[in-house]
């Protein structure tokens, strides 16, 4: 067989780069880790050495309060690993600092996408198509029913609802890293310049984004505000706080949630969401399949989500693909 890619091995707790003895996004502490981005299902504390983009390292430092063994790798910068492996971090367009990792060894090229999306995001550089032999792709929204509408449409819905109920507030549940800041940045882009109120759990990450040059406009904390002040305003919180007792301090909130899962009515109803906003930082079905066509790899390895449908899509087009069974990846809130 011409290719067998034995130097790269999917194991239950991560992808093992054998000659370099390092791991990509390992779910357990290892001596040497390469991390695609700061989400908890990819970035964990406790590794000996962590190679990641400077933004991702800053996010990990904020989350795990450790920075020992951090090795920054800027976008497009190639890092030589032991065992004759070269690693290059390429923008993935998912969240601040997110990268695909291109691995080159003995003339073979493997791309690990981490999480990615193809539509523009004011908080991070766009995904770059990188030709390779093995394309290891995520599949969070790997079902043909998922089609994320343009974000302008969803932001428009949010602003319309806010305008229609000036006596209330709209409470938007959004994942604390990435989604919350992207929603705020898109609101600013749409001309919404009123203060936006934050749940305390979002404050530090928003400040970090601002430190990295993402302008989020005027942000205030719910804990510092009076109920009256928040009428007619947008409040952003982590999804877990949406139906929590915490929300009782808000003026008659309209419950919204920004997530790709909101495409399915039953999912929105399960979470008691009144205003579903289909906003995702992951590729939808169209983006996933278009990306495979553009990268045009020798084979695709599918992980992180609904592998079955994407596998079927490859089969129907006579493309080589296999599903990896990695543990610990879940993006229920994304």
Partner 1 sequence: MERFAALIDALVYTRSRNEKLQLIAGYLRATPDPDRGWALAALTGGLDFPAVKASTIRNLMHERVDPVLWTLSRDFVGDTAETASLLWPAGESPPDPPSVSETVEALAAMTRRSVFTELPALLDRLDASGRFALLKLATGAMRIGISARLAKIAFAQAFDVGVEEVEEYWHGLAPPYRALFAWAAERAPPPDTGSLPLFRPFMLAHPLDDTIVDLEDYVAEWKWDGIRVQLVHVGGEQGETRLYSRSGDDISGTFPEFLDALPMDAVLDGELLVRGVHQGGEKGGAASFNALQQRLGRKTVSKAMLADFPAFIRLYDVMILEDDDLRGLPWTQRRARLEALMPRLPADRFDLSPVVDAEHFDHLAEIRAGARDDAIEGLMLKRKDSPYIAGRKTGLWYKWKRDPLLVDCVLMYAQRGSGKRSSFYSDYTFGCWDGDPDAGADLLPVGKAYFGFTDEELRKIDRYVRTHTVNRFGPVRETDRSLVFEVAFDSVHASKRHKSGLAMRFPRIHRIRWDKPAHEADRIDALRALVRD
Shortest Cβ 229–partner 1 spacing (Å): 21
Binder to Zn ion among 20, 70, 96, 115 (CB under 5 A)?
115
Q: Which of partner 1, Zn ion, none lies near 147, with the C-beta cut-off 5 to 8 A by kind?
A: partner 1
Closer to Zn ion at the Cβ: 7 or 146? 146
Closer to Zn ion at the Cβ: 23 or 246? 23
Judged by the rule CB under 8 A, the positions of this chain that interact with partner 1 are 143-145, 147, 243-245, 247-248, 255, 263-266, 268-270, 272-276, 306, 308-309, 312-313, 316
Closer to partner 1 at the Cβ: 16 or 267? 267
Shortest Cβ 235–partner 1 spacing (Å): 14
Shortest Cβ 72–Zn ion spacing (Å): 20
Closer to partner 1 at the Cβ: 161 or 192? 161
Shortest Cβ 179–partner 1 spacing (Å): 20
Q: Which of partner 1, Zn ion, none lies near 159, with the C-beta cut-off 5 to 8 A by kind?
A: none
Binder to Zn ion among 11, 21, 41, 299 (CB under 5 A)?
41
Shortest Cβ 306–partner 1 spacing (Å): 7
Shortest Cβ 304–Zn ion spacing (Å): 6
Q: Which of Zn ion, partner 1, none lies near 275, with the C-beta cut-off 5 to 8 A by kind?
A: partner 1
> 284 with 139: CB under 8 angstroms?
no
Binding residues for Zn ion, rule: CB under 5 A, are 39, 41, 115, 331
């Amino acid at each position: 067989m011409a290719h067998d890619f034995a130097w790269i091995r999917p194991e239950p707790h991560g992808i093992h780069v054998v000659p370099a003895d390092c791991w990509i996004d390992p779910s357990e502490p290892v001596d040497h880790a390469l991390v695609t981005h700061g989400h908890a299902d990819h970035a964990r504390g406790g590794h000996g050495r962590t190679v990641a983009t400077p933004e991702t390292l800053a996010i990990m430092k904020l989350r795990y309060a450790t920075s020992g063994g951090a090795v920054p790798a800027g976008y497009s910068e190639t890092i030589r690993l032991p065992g004759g492996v070269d690693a290059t971090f390429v923008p993935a367009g998912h969240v601040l600092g997110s990268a695909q990792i291109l691995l080159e060894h003995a003339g073979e090229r493997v791309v690990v996408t981490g999480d990615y999306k193809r539509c523009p995001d004011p908080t991070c550089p766009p995904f770059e198509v990188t030709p390779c032999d093995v394309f290891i792709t995520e599949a969070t929204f790997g079902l043909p029913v998922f089609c994320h509408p343009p974000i302008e449409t969803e932001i428009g819905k949010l602003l319309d609802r806010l305008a229609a109920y000036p006596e209330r507030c709209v409470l938007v549940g959004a994942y604390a890293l990435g989604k919350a800041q992207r929603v705020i940045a898109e609101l600013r882009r749409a001309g919404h310049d009123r203060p936006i109120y934050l749940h305390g759990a979002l404050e530090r990450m928003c400040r970090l984004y601002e430190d990295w040059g993402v302008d989020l406009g005027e942000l205030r904390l719910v804990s510092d505000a009076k109920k009256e002040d928040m009428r007619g305003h947008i409040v952003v919180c982590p999804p877990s706080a949406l139906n929590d007792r915490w929300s009782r301090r808000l003026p008659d909130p309209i419950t919204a949630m920004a997530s790709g899962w909101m495409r399915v009515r039953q999912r929105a109803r399960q979470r008691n969401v009144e205003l579903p906003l289909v906003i995702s930082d992951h590729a939808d079905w169209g983006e996933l399949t278009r990306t495979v066509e553009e990268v045009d790899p020798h084979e695709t390895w599918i992980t992180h989500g609904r592998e079955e449908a994407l596998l079927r899509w490859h089969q129907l087009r006579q493309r080589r693909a296999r599903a990896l069974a990695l543990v610990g990846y879940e993006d229920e809130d994304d």
